[in-house]
Amino acid sequence: MNVNIYYGGRGLLDDPTLYVINKMEEVLLELRVNVQRYNIYEDKSSISTLPHTLKDADGIILATTVEWLGIGGYMQQFLDACWFYGDKERIKTIYMQPIVMSTTYGEREGELTLANAWEILGGLPCSGLCGYVDDLVSFEMNNEYSVIIEKKAENLYRTISQKQKSLPTSNQAVTRSVLRTQQLELTPQESEQLSKYVADDTYVKKQKEDIEELSSMFKGMLNQQQTDETTAYIADLESHFVAQTDFKANYLFMIEEKKKPLCVEVDNEEVSCHYGQQDNTDIYAKLTTEVFDNIVAGRMTFQRAFMTGEMTAKGNFKTLRMLDQIFVFE
């Protein structure tokens, strides 16, 4: 039989929880139980990997001290890690005995918190131990208290060896029906690997830097895309403009993939292009970016696009035919 003890206190010499778990460990060893203790405060940099120490455990003891409010941060982090990275199927077979000693108020609430947490994780809680200690010396010297602690250790051994069952609880029902969080579907091996990455500060820092770099890159791409939306084809049209004497016209191109129409205003030797709206349009044309790309690349003319139906147009057709004279793409 294997029993793991997870101590969530701060390791202070006057911590009554240390006395209790030392006493319980002695009893379990006498019963030929393999006991492994994990002081969470010593492994605080790798708490996310601790749930994988549950693999070979038949039962565990969650022990913590209420010093001012609640079960403490170390134990809470360990339970969080069990929720995110623990093997839920393995946890379902593990008995848990909560041990909560208090130097202030709240030991009963702490014991209940641990029991509820383990049930929600899917585990099997058994009768725990809680108490208030004002004077550690008198507590340790009290033989009756020692007997109670020993009986609790024996009860844990008996519960595990006999695989005792318990009545269903509402926590188990909540776990099945309500608390269905959006979690990654990972195998136990993948969860273990993920928890190791999370515990590696260097890896986490590198991931954050990579995310920031990707964010900057995509922001730049988005800005470039927005810039392209307002400048596309303008430089091509202006650089291939051939001035015509005594010719004025306003063209409006509705390009399907663009949010705004492309407006082209020709006034003798000057040309003006912009995206937006304009009044007094002589030619209203509609085409796709693919067709426009072919035109500016010299693979097609405006007249051919209109004749083949790839570009539709309304207005004066003489003015439409002038497009291939004022914009020459070779």
Whole-number Å distance between alpha carbons of 97 and 63: 8
The whole-number pLDDT of residue 227 equals 46
Whole-number Å distance between alpha carbons of 22 and 27: 9
Query: 2-184 sits in which CATH class?
Result: alpha beta
The whole-number pLDDT of residue 245 equals 86
Instruction: Name the CATH architecture for the domain at 234-326.
Output: 2-Layer Sandwich (3.30)
Where does residue 305 rank: exposed (0-12), middle (13-18), buried (19+ CB within 10 A)?
buried
Query: Cα 196–202–204 angle (5° rounding)?
Result: 65
The whole-number pLDDT of residue 159 equals 94
The whole-number pLDDT of residue 167 equals 81
DSSP codes joined into one string, 146-180: HHHHHHHHHHHHHHHHHT------HHHHHHHHT--
Would you kindly state where each structural domain of the chain is located, as residue ranges? 2-184, 234-326
Q: Specify whether the CB–CB gap between 47 and 201 falls below 8 A.
A: no
Look-up of token digits 């063209």? 251
Residues of the chain with pLDDT under 70: 172-186, 188-201, 203-204, 220-230
Q: Specify whether the CB–CB gap between 117 and 81 falls below 8 A.
A: no
Burial code (b: 16+ CB inside 10 Å, e: under 16) for 92-128 equals eebbbbbbbbbbeebbebbbebbbbbbbbbbbbbbeb
Whole-number Å distance between alpha carbons of 252 and 274: 10
Where does residue 62 rank: exposed (0-12), middle (13-18), buried (19+ CB within 10 A)?
buried
For residue range 83-141, what is the model confidence (pLDDT) as tens digits?
A: 988 898 899 999 999 999 999 999 999 999 999 999 999 999 899 999 999 999 999 99
The whole-number pLDDT of residue 259 equals 82
Taking the model in full, what pTM does it have? 0.62
Q: Specify whether the CB–CB gap between 82 and 4 falls below 8 A.
A: no
Whole-number Å distance between alpha carbons of 196 and 174: 30
The whole-number pLDDT of residue 197 equals 63
